[in-house]
Amino acid sequence: MLSSNYIIIPYSIYGVYLIDVRALKLHEECIKEHLEGLKEEILGDGVLKKPIIVDKNTMIVLDGTHRVTIAREVGFKVIPALLIDYTEAEIYSWARIFTGKNAKKYVIEFLQKMFKESQSVQGKNIVVFFNGKEYLRIKSSRSILEIYRTLYSLEREMLSKCFSVKIVPDYAIERYWHSSLVIVLPQIRREDVIRVVSKGMCFPPKSTRHVLKRKIPDVNIPLHVLAKGF
């Protein structure tokens, strides 16, 4: 667990603690376009409604990257966190949906160029669906972080070319199969997250989707309490 140099104080709701924001480790980068709007919403509400979710053994933030980033930016000393064992959270992924004229051409050329030297029989699967069928499967020997960073660069490049890029939960891809190009990324595992964070690195935005079976409680803690700390 944590050094006593950091604040970890039980809150009035079971499982929720007020944690020193310096103690938390992020495993994903923020979506910059989303950050400012969320900051305005939180400051306008005057309370933080939900706790972030944190693995109690590593202090890795499983859900709440943007809220932690905002807390640090505005000077909060503590933030409410639901401390769990990582095994309580299921990890799912996000799929990327590309639409626009010649989107298939750009995506396929990018993938074949970027992964040409890393394909292997035993690699991790990157699967492309088009018109409701599997169109391309690439097995890459690169690390899971390298794969996600490469696909993130594709996402940014496609946006710069004015293509539409939609990020959807993996369970929702079937509704897009017959109208768009769909990329399904290899699954990230718990050990992947822990290893990447231990090296001081992060996955790109929207790499993992952590889901708890239990309900996440409301906390509605006034922001002045978070700014003051203990």
CA dihedral 175, 189, 192, 66 (to 10 degrees): 50
171 DSSP assignment: G
**Per-residue confidence (pLDDT) for residue 171, from 0 to 100:** 87
Parts of the chain with a pLDDT under 50: 3
Residues of the chain with CATH 3.90.1530.10: 8-89+194-228
In CATH terms, the fold of domain 8-89+194-228 is 3.90.1530
**Per-residue confidence (pLDDT) for residue 4, from 0 to 100:** 52
Taking only the tens place, the pLDDT of each residue in 170-224 is 888 888 877 789 999 999 999 999 999 999 999 999 999 999 988 999 999 999 9
**Per-residue confidence (pLDDT) for residue 5, from 0 to 100:** 65
**Per-residue confidence (pLDDT) for residue 11, from 0 to 100:** 87
**Per-residue confidence (pLDDT) for residue 179, from 0 to 100:** 77
DSSP track, 107-122: HHHHHHHHTTTTEEEE
Report pTM.
0.91
